[in-house]
Amino acid sequence: MIATGLMVASAAVFFSLGTLHLIYTFVGTRLTPRDSALQARMAEVSPGITKEATMWSFWVGFNISHSMAAMLYGLIYGYLAIVHSGLLFSSPYLLMVGLLTVGGFFAVGKVYWFRAPVIGIGISLSCYVASIVAAMAAF
């Protein structure tokens, strides 16, 4: 029961961060450049890979897909913890995929992002690892 609660907490934190990020992508100016000229230029310039899109459309698309990935982790691992906890905690594959996902986000956050999301992801990662430890102790 403790393992399930910790896994749900990990998933809930990640889902919340992803949802908030998705909202920030479309509402307000939190994910737009402080320099409006930069945003205008990003809307004019294409990346080297294609002329079918602009750097601004890439920026928005990356933010959307980034949010979706965090939300997907939260939905899947939250669901598995609640409905199929036996399967989740007995599957080394599922546990490793989850650990690599949250751990990967944490590592990327430490290198490329700022403190607030790293703290949230760190909490999610701590809950995730603690859930595995609690599940192993219960067996």
What is the per-residue pLDDT for 8? 98
Number of domains in the chain: 1
Model pTM? Answer: 0.91
Cβ atoms of 118 and 105 within 8 Å: the answer is no
Q: Is residue 43 situated within a structural domain? A: no
Residue pair 113/66 in contact (Cβ under 8 Å)? The answer is: no
Tens digits of residue pLDDT in 13-61: 999 999 999 999 999 999 999 999 999 999 999 999 999 999 999 999 9
**114-134 residue pLDDT tens:** 999 999 999 999 999 999 999
**Please, which residues have CB within 8 angstroms of residue 47's CB and are 6 or more apart in sequence?**
53, 55, 58
Domain that holds residue 99: 2-27+65-138
